Every structure is written in structure tokens, then in C-alpha cells.
Amino acid sequence: MLTMQTVIAKALGTAKLKLTLLPKPMLKTLAAGLVRSVIDMEETEKMPITLYRLNDEAFNFKEFDKMVDWVMDADREQNKQLVGFKEQEVRTFDGFYLRLFYSQKTRKPVWRDFLTGVALPSSKIINASNEDASFIAFIGYNNNLFAISGGQGNFIIQPYIDQNFGLDIICRILPQNHNAIKSIQDVGVFGSILGTEKFFRGDYRLDDEEQFGKVYKSVISGIDKQIIIDEFGFPSSELKRNPRILAKSSFQISRSIDFDNLLEIIKRTDSILARNPNFILNKITHINRRGIVNKQLIETLNIELIQYLFEFFTGNGDDAINICHRNISKYLNAICYEVKAHRKHICSLETIDNIIHLANNSDFVININLNSVDEFRESIEKISILSFDEEGNQLTKAYLLEHCHGELTYNNTVYFFLDGEWYRIEDEFIDGLNEEMSNLIAENLDNSILTDVFDLSVDEKDFNQQYLNDNSVFVLDKVIADGIEICDLLKTTSNQLYIIHVKKGFNNSIRELTSQVALSANTLLWDTKKRYPHVKKLDSMLNSSKTGYLSTIYNQAKPSQTLLEIFNKKKFADITFCLAFVDTATSDRDIKDIRAFHSNIAKFSIIELRRKIKGLGFNFKLIQLKRP
């Protein structure tokens, strides 16, 4: 409780004033005028603070001063924006290392030149300028290097911050079933969804989220004030209601704090990070290009990928690398693909969805240098793939290496290479993936739907043509209406309609096939609401006279009913989408032993596909085809 005399004394500091000699009315007036100033002074020392942790793996050294010197070295080419930052003198704090940098620059507003066309030369606005003040404070405690910033300072430390810092904190201070999540932002590693941001009403738990294939980037959550008191040492008198926390690459509590509070939070955060997490939030970790260690790892993985491709093209590796542009739909619906080395045309192909399609093309092979791994890398990095529609319009373009999708194991760790980026897969993710895939197999495997043997010396087209004389099956492989192939085989029974997609191999190419199946299911769902215009087109095409390869398809033995008649008699519950595959491994494997299959991309893609198919109201089956 502030008395009038203590208020005035605090406000006047060391002023030699004999307060006891002042008349009481004057004392009251003086106190009333100064009390707001005292409170304002105390409050201006407080503000909401966003705390960062610098990733020590970004440096070749661990000493506080060396790491700070490296970040603030203005002589390095990438640090030109550091010009003007000057180190400031600071107080010392027991147990902490502290360095503070400050910059103040004059900047011309971007709109100033625009207004010269209307303002007279004598106008003050012609010479308008902005003053930008920025700071960075580095705070070392034990083995952790923390930072706070203001103005442009954030851009200086961005390349070095721990991208999971805030998320690592909430995994240690919140229970897994915490039910006050307000917002989540995530990035999709697989599939076509680049990222989402969701806001929630009422109680929402992280457990309610489907976490497979996602990387969480930001979580905003309500939190019981008692947790903040216990974990970060906040006085209970300063927390009248439950605050919010923002966790991403930084951490913030929605309360204003002073510098002493900040140091206490840092001390407590150091202890929190030393604890085991209550749960794992991100089971897939993006390997960013920031930091020396990450750059070295990425370069090592790139070399491993090049080595993998080199061994394949020299006949010593398998074909587990798939080819697909990040825009899956456009790429897969293309009619023609062109391969180029810079501006030089190499070859044109009707299909490029696996590295084997390039290896089987002599024009491509003679344009890559197989004398050594280094020469191979130099030649392969120049190659790009372009895709085109039926009118010759370019749909996609990217370097060949950016089209590569595959898994590599390095130092007993599984990495994914997708759309030109590397991802590390945590053990918990793989264990959960295998468990969910085992459950899917137990519920959805049905090898009785197709019983013919798949000769491994032929491709999917040849296998599908085995059913040309089966009048219970429509062979629809390569029958495309409106740019969509509805399926490879359509099998009818008295009570079921099986829409079957066939794939040779259980590898990363399953990802592209599942995208096609999902597109087919969405098309059929739309078709049911419009009296089957797509099915009518397929019927018309099947009854048309064609030449060449398609004539075989169009002259096949067909069921007695048309496609339209068949679909009109089926309900959603009678329609089953099937993914049929034949295993191409050198040894016999049964999909029921899911851990014997190593393509995590294939597993995840099938799980995701089943979820989509069920969500549309259709049934789903998985088929492992027989092989010799």
C-alpha cells in the first residue's frame, strides 16, 4: 500500500524535501498529482515479451561470446543489414551473460516519391523520413542462448533461432489432453494441402487433431494461471485471470513483464527444457537450410540422393524414387512430358512417374554422365521436366531433382525427400504409422476381389488387359473423360461395384496413385448429384469405334448392362474403391507383416486415402495381388 509520503518520495527520488513540514492539504494535492506518474513509471517498464532460443547446432562453437559475435559480425556478406548496430553498455546479473545491441536509422517512406507529383517542392512531406529504432538482447543462461528483439532486430536472429522452441515448452508444461487450444497452424508434409490455420470455439484438445503427415508451426492456448505461477514464478497477485500463451519458434505469455521477470522466466525455461516432454507434438521435422549443421546435413543427404540415383542408373540400385511435380493434379493429368537440359531438348514421354521411365529412354541416358558420381551430379542438376496438356499448354516445370520423391535412411534415421525439401521422421511417427496401417489391413484387406497372377515382367496395362474377356469387368485403363481416369478396372457383382486402381510395387509411387483414386472418388461423388454425366461419357466412349491400343479396350467383352445402368442401381454403400498392388521386392512379403514393408510414404498415403474415401461415403478395400 503506497502512502502519500512514499509516493512523493519515490517520485522525487533524492530531492531534499522535508515532507513532514508540508501542510496536509498541499501534501494531498501533491500526492494525487504524482501517484499516476509513479504507476506510469512502473508500468512503462513492463511490456509483453517474445522470447527466442538460438539453436546451438547452428554454430561450430558453444561459447556465449563467440556465438553472439558470429551473429553480429557485420563484415559477413549475409549480414549487410547489421551496419549501424552498436553494442551498448549493460548492467550485470548474477548467473546470466548479457549483450545488448542497438541501431537507429533514418529511412525514406516508400510513398514519398509518389507524392512528389502532387506536393509542392516547399512542402515538408517531400522530405519526410521515418526513424527506425531496433535492438537485440542476447541472454545466456547455463548452456542456453536466448534472445529478445525489437524493430528490425528480429530479422537478424531469424536464421539462428530454434524453430521448435515454443512448441517444446508447451509439450513440457501442458498435459497431452489439455483442452483450451484456441488456434493451430500446421504445414502438410504429404498430399496437396500446403498448410492450414484453424481457430476453435470452446474446449479443443490437441488429441482431437489428426497429426499424421503434419508439422505444427504455431499453437495458441489458454492456460490455467496456476501453471504460470508454478512454472514461471509469476506472483499470484499479477494474474487475475487465466492468460494465453503463444508457442511457435518463439514463446510468449500474454502478460506484460519487466526485465527482472524476463530473467526469472529464462531461468525457469532452462529447467523446463531439461525435462522430458509430456507428449511429442511434431513427429515429422523439417530440416531447414539455416545454420551450419543443418546445411551440412542437407548437403550430406543431397549427396546420398545423388549416390542413390547414380547407383540406379548404373544398374546397382532399385527404382524406389518416384517422379512427380508438387502440383500433383496438373502433373498427373498432363498428356505429354518434355525433358530438357537447360534449353536443350532431350526427349518427350507420355508418362514420367518413376525414375525407371527415364532410365528406359536412351535419349535421356546418353545425356547424363555416368563416368563418376561428381560428373553425374553435374549433369543431372541441369535437367528439368515440363508437362503439357492436350493443346500444348505448359502445366508444370521444375528441375528433375525437385520432382524426386523418396525415402533415404542415413545413420539409422529415416528421411523423406519431397518437393525439394528434406524431412526427418521421428520414431514415434513410424511406430504409430505401422500400428494404424496394421489396423487398416485387418479391417480392409480383401485379396478375393482380384485373383489373377501379376507377371512381374509386365506393367499394369498388361495385367489389366487380362480382364478384357471377363464380362463381369470393365477395363477402363487409359480411358480418360474430362481429363480423369475413373479407374483401371471396374468389377460388378450382384451386390457390389468395385472401382479398382492397380499399381506395380509398394513404394513411393503409391502416393501419386492415391491422389488419382481420391480424384476419382470426388468425381464420382459429384457425378451422382448430376445424374452421372461423367459415366455417360464413359459409356459413349466404350461404344465408339477406335483404332490402335484403345481399340482393344473399346472392343472388350463387357457386362450386359451399361455403366450408367450399373451405377443407377447402386447405392453409396454398394460402391467400393480398391487399391490393388503387387509387391516387387526380391523376397515374398505379406502385407499383414507391415513392418517388412519400408515405404512410409506408401503407408501414410493409403491411410490418408482410406480416410478420404470413408469421408465421402464410399467403402474402401486394399488388395495384394498374387505374383508368380
DSSP string, 368-382: S--S-HHHHHHHHTT
Would you tell me how many other CB atoms lie within 10 Å of the CB of residue 595? Answer: 10
Which residue's C-alpha cell is 474403391?
577
Question: Confidence band (pLDDT; 50, 70, 90) for 81?
Answer: low
| pLDDT tens digits along 518-544 | 999 999 999 988 889 999 988 888 777
Please report the pLDDT score of residue 116 as a whole number.
Answer: 86
Using CA atoms, how far residue 534 sits from 65, 523, 529, 538, in Å, is: 68, 8, 11, 6
pLDDT of 9 above 50:
no
Least reliable range by pLDDT among 142-146, 167-171, 291-295: 291-295
| pLDDT tens digits along 287-343 | 876 667 788 899 999 999 999 999 989 887 666 687 888 777 788 888 899 999 988
Sign of the four-CA dihedral 334, 339, 341, 345? negative
- Rounded Cα distance between 132 and 473, Å, is 72
DSSP H or E segment with residue 176: none
Pairing verdict, β 497-504 and 575-582: parallel
Question: Confidence band (pLDDT; 50, 70, 90) for 274?
Answer: very high
Which parts of 53-164 fold into alpha helices (H)? Answer: 64-71, 153-157
CB 52 within 8 A of CB 149: yes
DSSP H or E segment with residue 345: strand 344-349
**Which residues are 474's β-sheet partners?**
490
Residue 225 makes CB contacts below 8 A (sequence gap 6+) with 234, 236, 239, 241, 242, 243
Please report the pLDDT score of residue 305 as a whole number.
Answer: 93
- Rounded Cα distance between 102 and 149, Å, is 10
